[in-house]
Amino acid sequence: MSLASLSDDQRFGLSRRVSLPGPLHLDGGATLSPVEIAYETYGTLDRDAGNAILVCHALTGDHHLASPHPRTGKPGWWQRMVGPGKPIDTNRFFVVCANVLGSCMGSSGPASINPVTGRAWGMAFPVITIRDMVRAQALLLDHLGIARLAAVVGGSMGGMQALSWAATYPQRVAAAVVIASTARHTAQNIAFHEVGRQAVMADPNWREGDYYDREAPARGLAVARMAAHITYLSEAGLTEKFGRRLQAREAKSFGFDADFQVESYLRHQGLSFTDRFDANSYLYITRAMDYYDLAEEHGGRLANAFASATRFCLVSFDTDWLYPTAESRAIVQALNAAGAPVSFVELSSPYGHDAFLLDSPELDRIVAGFLGA
Amino acid sequence: MSLASLSDDQRFGLSRRVSLPGPLHLDGGATLSPVEIAYETYGTLDRDAGNAILVCHALTGDHHLASPHPRTGKPGWWQRMVGPGKPIDTNRFFVVCANVLGSCMGSSGPASINPVTGRAWGMAFPVITIRDMVRAQALLLDHLGIARLAAVVGGSMGGMQALSWAATYPQRVAAAVVIASTARHTAQNIAFHEVGRQAVMADPNWREGDYYDREAPARGLAVARMAAHITYLSEAGLTEKFGRRLQAREAKSFGFDADFQVESYLRHQGLSFTDRFDANSYLYITRAMDYYDLAEEHGGRLANAFASATRFCLVSFDTDWLYPTAESRAIVQALNAAGAPVSFVELSSPYGHDAFLLDSPELDRIVAGFLGA
């Protein structure tokens, strides 16, 4: 693939997969080579490669950012944010979104083939960190000829990557947009992820991760997703959306079917997730998030993580109890201490953590304004 | 058993099990007969039976209220609250605590023998409600010759029973103490319970509830308990207790062992729970809690649930996010509208919902003062 061919391609959303030789040195001490990365690009890279924006996806996301998913036909997960004339304007920016290391949408992860054995890695895949994901993305940008990003943008785990980008490669990041995110996983965050991992590992089909030629641990993964999904929504949002409303039937069944709409909704969330996500990837990525603590990586002081070379935009949502506003404020304080320019807005939304993916004209204006500045 | 023998018994904490003929008519339409109830009593019942206090236990609790558990030797679950000279003073009151209907500590539940088949009920046990638990307790009080309670006291699900007592038998309840509780389960409450039920049902050992002569679905039940346990603690409490501290080892393992103390703690909570609790009982009791909505039982208006015959004391904890203070306030407003005397205190505690079981001199003073009045 050449950059020329990229620029010449007129189709919106160019989906590619690249095998980079690496080697990629991981925080855990292991080395990965080659490194497969699935990614999409939108727009045209300038001659000086100065107009690139990297968008980082969340835990269960993928690189199908702004064009329909090739298999499901579903719209890209941030189509409302990325496109011609949209807040991340592809008429102006060359936008890259890569599937994270450890995931299962085309980038190297536990479901990939281990070149040594010729079989899926499973739990032999090395444990990774958020910083390792960022290092893999840096390899991709090297490959694409992008020395410095105009911006890195992400929500939730995408925001962790954006922060880690600024901390790991300050000279390669002009600006960072960090939405509904945090600089570290708290005990409660870890606790919820641990429940999910134990649910997966309790499924006898998990077989220590060696299930790729058998039935997958779908029931355990569904339970994990259900538990996590509760943390993505606010109590008020759940009440507004479902309250105690019953399913179609008129009265309680006095049984264990999904009587309440919220039960049926959660079951659906759990089951549909298992169609699209690999259980081992869920273990690896949640582990990476739990290990994540930017301050810890920088001598215990968050301000040490940041240089003044990058300008920041932070956004939180008032009903987000997964990564509440206080976590964003802690980052803002550290950025102030580091002398980095930062703007911060707490938006009001009934939808909890998930608000960053939903229609929000205020968020659109903030992102557009920050990138336009 | 006669009341005389009860009064004469000098041992503190008289543990009994009674089989009452019933029949008990359940909200779901079924009838239960006989009704087994395991219970303990403390203190001496007055000649006029006017000094009885019923203490109602929480989801996974039992009737071993204030004396050591006969099998484990552990102290009673509310030993600090109930005893001679304690806030619920057994020198003055005759205190009764009964294992709830549906549980597995001696009262009728899915693990009990179905007299028709001679085998454990399993999922053939009728689905029950909080009000059904209260009806079973009323049968027990009839048996004990207690026409009217000086007070009914409970925290969490015990508080739901206390409210349901006042609503169902207003003439039999002089006073009710409702701690860290609610008048209905919200969508989020239901969601967490549904995750737990799905975790149990996803365990292949569950076998549609028919596991009593085989291996129990311990792994699923452990996951259910882990998820629930997070809701019993506050984020601040978890941070204070564990933060991101690692286990004994010095550094991250870059594996999937319990690196963080909070992981190890949760795993222990899950595993130890399966030694003492029946998975089917967990399904039945969480279902009863999810069905619970006092307003719904009274024409949609909570105030209709209450008469002015009972005086109330409500206590909430400021960091309880399972049944937050707003839920207690809603009950207080309904009691005001019903003309029932009520006192309400929100206590400050870092420990979230679990605070009602922990050492709290303020709570002790409130309970002692209310019962002494």
Look at residue A248 in the predicted model and tell me its pLDDT. Answer: 72
Which tens digits make up the pLDDT trace of B123-137?
999 999 999 999 999
Instruction: Tell me: pLDDT of B49 over 60.
Output: yes
Q: What is the CATH number of the domain that holds B153?
A: 3.40.50.1820
Q: Which long-range contacts (CB under 8 A, 24 or more apart) does A268-275 make?
A: A269/A225, A269/A226, A269/A229, A270/A221, A270/A222, A270/A223, A270/A225, A270/A226, A270/A229, A270/B198, A271/A218, A271/A222, A273/A60, A273/A221, A273/A222, A273/A225, A274/A216, A274/A218, A274/A221, A274/A222, A274/A225
B179 plus B195 within the same structural domain: no
Check: CB of residue B176 under 8 Å from CB of residue B150: no
Average pLDDT over residues B47-63: 97
Residue that terminates a domain, selected from B220, B253, B287? B287
pLDDT interval class at B10 (50, 70, 90): very low
Q: What are phi and psi of A152, to 5 degrees?
A: -120, 135
Per DSSP, A29 falls in state S
Specify the DSSP element, H or E, that contains A17.
strand A14-20
B301 plus B250 within the same structural domain: no
A163 plus A199 within the same structural domain: no
Look at residue A249 in the predicted model and tell me its pLDDT. Answer: 67
Q: Which position among A259, A320, A349, A360 bears the catalytic label?
A: A320
CB distance A198–B254 less than 8 Å? no
Q: Could you tell me which chain A residue has the CA closest to the CA of B266?
A: A191
Which tens digits make up the pLDDT trace of A326-370?
999 999 999 999 999 999 999 999 999 999 999 999 999 999 999
Number of separate domains in chain A: 2
Give how far Cα B24 sits from Cα of A315, B132, B140, B162, B325, Å. 56, 8, 11, 19, 34
Instruction: Tell me: pLDDT of B5 over 60.
Output: no
* ipTM score assigned to the predicted complex: 0.94
Instruction: Tell me: pLDDT of A1 over 50.
Output: no
Q: What is the CATH number of the domain that holds A211?
A: 1.10.1740.110
Look at residue B9 in the predicted model and tell me its pLDDT. Answer: 38
Q: Could you tell me which chain A residue has the CA closest to the CA of B261?
A: A187
A203 plus A82 within the same structural domain: no
Instruction: Please list the alpha-helical segments (H only) found in chain A.
Output: 3-8, 130-144, 157-168, 187-202, 218-232, 235-241, 261-276, 279-291, 325-338, 361-372
Q: Which position among A57, A63, A64, A353 bears the catalytic label?
A: A353
CB distance A226–B194 less than 8 Å? yes
Print the domain residue range for B134: 3-185+293-372
Which tens digits make up the pLDDT trace of B79-97?
999 999 999 999 999 999 9
Check: CB of residue A244 under 8 Å from CB of residue A259: no
Window B:29-58, CB contacts with A under 8 Å = 29-30
Instruction: Tell me: pLDDT of B8 over 70.
Output: no
- Nearest Cβ partner for B195 among A203, A230, A252: A230
Residue A79 sits at the vertex; the CA angle it makes with A76 and A83, to the nearest 5 degrees, is 125
Instruction: Tell me: pLDDT of A5 over 80.
Output: no
B131 plus B228 within the same structural domain: no
B97 plus B221 within the same structural domain: no
Residue that terminates a domain, selected from A265, A287, A309? A287
CB distance A235–B187 less than 8 Å? yes
Average pLDDT over residues A110-136: 97
Instruction: Please list the alpha-helical segments (H only) found in chain B.
Output: 3-8, 130-144, 157-168, 187-202, 218-232, 235-241, 261-276, 279-291, 325-338, 361-372
Average pLDDT over residues A90-118: 97
Instruction: Tell me: pLDDT of A132 over 70.
Output: yes
Tell me the chain A residues in contact with residue B131 when contact means C-beta distances shorter than 8 Å.
Answer: none
Look at residue A13 in the predicted model and tell me its pLDDT. Answer: 76
Least confident segment among B3-7, B107-111, B260-264, B363-367: B3-7
Distance between CA atoms of A185 and A192, rounded to whole angstroms? 11
CA B174 to chain centre: 20
Instruction: Tell me: pLDDT of B6 over 60.
Output: no
Which tens digits make up the pLDDT trace of B95-110?
999 999 999 999 999 9
Q: Which position among A156, A164, A316, A349 bears the catalytic label?
A: A156
Instruction: Tell me: pLDDT of B7 over 80.
Output: no
A199 plus A180 within the same structural domain: no
A45 plus A150 within the same structural domain: yes
**Average pLDDT in chain B:** 94
Residue that terminates a domain, selected from B287, B304, B320? B287
Average pLDDT over residues B145-160: 98
B168 plus B306 within the same structural domain: yes
**A99 Cβ neighbours under 8 A, 6+ residues apart:** A37, A38, A39, A57, A62, A63, A105, A106, A107
Which tens digits make up the pLDDT trace of B278-311?
999 999 999 999 999 999 999 999 999 998 989 9
Work out the minimum CA distance from B88 to partner chain A, whole angstroms. 35
Per DSSP, A293 falls in state B
pLDDT interval class at B331 (50, 70, 90): very high
For this structure, is A353 an active site residue?
yes
Check: CB of residue A39 under 8 Å from CB of residue A18: yes
Catalytic residue numbers of B?
156, 320, 353
Give the three-class secondary structure for B83: strand
Percent of chain A with pLDDT over 70: 97
Average pLDDT over residues B263-274: 96
Q: Which residue has the tokens 């039976």?
A: B49
pLDDT interval class at B13 (50, 70, 90): confident
A79 plus A175 within the same structural domain: yes
Check: CB of residue B194 under 8 Å from CB of residue A262: yes
Tell me the chain B residues in contact with residue A270 when contact means C-beta distances shorter than 8 Å.
Answer: 198
Which tens digits make up the pLDDT trace of A59-84?
999 999 999 988 888 999 999 999 99
Instruction: Tell me: pLDDT of B3 over 80.
Output: no
Look at residue B249 in the predicted model and tell me its pLDDT. Answer: 67
B180 plus B195 within the same structural domain: no
B53 plus B102 within the same structural domain: yes
Which tens digits make up the pLDDT trace of A15-62?
899 999 999 999 999 999 999 999 999 999 999 999 999 999 999 999
CB distance B256–A29 less than 8 Å? no
Percent of chain A with pLDDT over 90: 91
